[in-house]
Structure 1
Amino acid sequence: MIDLTTEYAGLRLKNPIVVASSGLTRNLRTIKELEAAGAAAVVLKSLFEEQIEAEMSQIMSPTDYPEAADYINAYVQSNEISKHLDFLREVKQEVSIPVIASINCFRSDSWVDFAKQFEDAGANALEINVMRLDTDLFYDANKTEQMYVNIVSSLVRAVKIPVTVKLSKAFSNIPSIVDKLRAAGAKGVVLFNRSYQPDIDIEKVQMVAGNVFSHAGEISDTIRYAGIVSALVPGISIASSTGVHDAAGVIKCILAGAHATQMCTALYKEGPGFVAETLAAVEGWMDRKGYRSVSEFRGYLSAGGIKSATMYERMQFMKYFSNKEN
């Protein structure tokens, strides 16, 4: 009997496949189909603070008084949050798998209030998504890390459910920031958040949106940091995201040290039923290799579990391939 269960951020999951926050997870019918196909948990579509403020600015007139602005802000924010909370409650009534609420804010004072309301509505955990891009030459990068730490510290004091952080690759020392988040009380990290991809249309000579979907080749950094972080920061759960497109991707991430994986693009392309196909393939691989549980091979190839840990640390192409030629 193959045991696919795993534990991520204090949540007991029936297998390592979590559906990432996306358009797929803002529709109850799709969520139920994903659960039926075997998804272990879902991360609901994010509540974006920017969207709330954008809606407020559309309603407001430039001549409105400050009192009107306060009223409109309160109304819009309350309305948007209420819709998210109602949807969360509806999902919780219809599915039995863990439901993780996702919040995307850019001001630290907004997080705690939102988080408390999601906890009260039944969320099993929180995933916070800061995704800040600093372009000020004189901005101290340490302030960004401290902002993350402060947000997590505030949240873990305010709620009892697990708090997880979805990180981008834009940190000079990813294991260090993960360790700081662990010390602040975070129970898990998602590595990584795939940022908006800009592109340029050379015929129209203008900026356009790039490909919104990831591709399987993007899994390399995902594997690299699952391997490094799991070895250096053992006290926090890791969910691997970006480039996880099939059973092989799921297996690779777990071998590197991930506790769970988040899938999105593959499910957009293949449909909810692809979860079942992926799980069957993972089970088949485990059976061939003689593994009876996920815990038996999780971290087998982490940076702390292989002789050549420098394979994860090599950043220069020729440094590795020149050795292969000798």
Structure 2
Amino acid sequence: MEPSLQASYAGLTLSSPIVIGSSGLTNNVDKIKEFEKVGAGAVVLKSLFEEQIWMDTQSMLEYNNSAEATSYLQSYVQANNLKQYTDLISRSKSECRIPVIASINCYHADSWVSFAREIEKAGADALEVNIFKLATNPHEELGHYERLHVSILKRVKRETRLPIIIKMGQRFSNIVSQVTQLKANEAAGVVLFNRLYTPDIDIDTMQITSGSVFSSSEELGNTLRWVGVVSGQVPNFSIAASTGVHGVTDPIKLILAGASAVEVCSAVYQQGPEVVTRMNDAMREWMKKKGYRSISSFRGALNFQNIKDQSLYERVQFMKYFSNHQ
């Protein structure tokens, strides 16, 4: 009997724990159907960006910035963007069987939260809320960013009965405490982590340029650490691992650390949709070898609470452990 890859994530039942992360690859129904065919358990649609709506409005206001024009154009742009997005949700749900998770990228607890109601009506199975604003204001009160996550979660939950998943960045003073607060306020799960755009500098042109768009395998360790710690310290809560997932055995490692699901994005861009099939096949073969029949039977087996030496997750100092390395 073949091992089952069925997984439970944020109240959803997935045929595989491999989820296609939000990107330009998930903005097209034909591509979503292809991801279903290669064995993805779910897809997260390309985000509806609060920032993009604002920028589109501003570009239209270049020659007329009256209050009346601002209000009209903002309403028009929001409605147009939302209509396109809900159409994508509806078509995806009508043509695919796997769960479709909508995504909003935002940095304010503002009027956009009403979008959640329309996203639910369109048939989305859940909503991933990607909250990020780089903290650069020295006058902003310490802790504002953390409280913003809880505030947005509460606002969105008032608008919809959909499971709300919070996609978190890595820049928190206490990630475990933040996840605990989100769980207490009835988030359905979290994604660890949102990978940020990084800048670079061209020393010849003296210009700020874009850094690497894709993640690398070297970034997996940080994701692995925090999935292991959070799943151990915040039990019975869904975690999707994201960032640094490239190797076909990486999802196995992350599930052992406690992930309920594993989002892949850069690997799909670089290796093609078939990488999902290879990840599923590698997981089945490993489960056969180890005698596991289900994902739940090994999920979290090596998380923070289930290992004897918890310092293996806590070690952060280079010199203590590698000072003799030549």
TM-score by length of 2: 0.96
Q: Distance in 1 between matches of 2:142 and 2:99?
A: 35
Which residue identity is paired with 2:117? Answer: K
State the percentage of identical aligned residues: 48
Say whether the 8 Å CA contact 2:255–2:298 is kept in structure 1: yes
Aligned pairs (5 A) from 1:131-170: 131-170=132-171
Q: Distance in 2 between matches of 1:254 and 1:181?
A: 21
Q: CA RMSD in A?
A: 1.3
Structure 2 match to 1:73:
74
Aligned with 2:308: secondary structure? coil
Q: Distance in 1 between matches of 2:28 and 2:308?
A: 46
Structure 1 match to 2:307:
306
Aligned with 1:247: secondary structure? coil
Which residue identity is paired with 2:255? Answer: I
C-alpha distance after superposition, 1:233-263 (max 9, x if no partner): 1132000000111321101100101111000
Aligned with 2:187: secondary structure? coil
C-alpha distance after superposition, 1:121-141 (max 9, x if no partner): 111000001111101223223
Structure 2 match to 1:186:
187
Q: Distance in 1 between matches of 2:288 and 2:236?
A: 29
Aligned pairs (5 A) from 1:1-326: 1-321=2-322
C-alpha distance after superposition, 1:266-302 (max 9, x if no partner): 1111211221111111111111122111111111110
Aligned with 1:186: secondary structure? coil
Aligned with 1:101: secondary structure? strand
Q: Distance in 1 between matches of 2:181 and 2:253?
A: 26
Q: CA deviation at 1:68?
A: 1.7
Q: Distance in 2 between matches of 1:319 and 1:162?
A: 43
Q: Distance in 1 between matches of 2:196 and 2:298?
A: 30
Which residue identity is paired with 1:183? Answer: A
Q: CA deviation at 1:62?
A: 4.4
Q: CA deviation at 1:9?
A: 0.6
Structure 2 vs 1, CA of residues 92 and 316 (structure 1 numbering), >3 Å: closer, same or farther? Answer: same
Which residue identity is paired with 2:245? Answer: V
Q: Distance in 1 between matches of 2:81 and 2:256?
A: 40
Deviates more, 1:108-117 or 1:214-223: 108-117
Say whether the 8 Å CA contact 1:30–1:272 is kept in structure 2: no
Which residue identity is paired with 1:30? Answer: K
Which residue identity is paired with 1:208? Answer: T
| Long gaps (5+) in structure 1 | none
Which residue identity is paired with 2:13? Answer: R
TM-score by length of 1: 0.96
Q: CA deviation at 1:63?
A: 4.0
Say whether the 8 Å CA contact 2:190–2:239 is kept in structure 1: yes
C-alpha distance after superposition, 1:42-67 (max 9, x if no partner): 00000001111111111113444311
Aligned with 2:205: secondary structure? coil
Say whether the 8 Å CA contact 2:238–2:260 is kept in structure 1: yes
Say whether the 8 Å CA contact 2:108–2:152 is kept in structure 1: no
Q: CA deviation at 1:219?
A: 0.3
Give the total of aligned pairs.
324
Which residue identity is paired with 1:134? Answer: A
Aligned with 2:43: secondary structure? strand
Say whether the 8 Å CA contact 2:109–2:155 is kept in structure 1: no
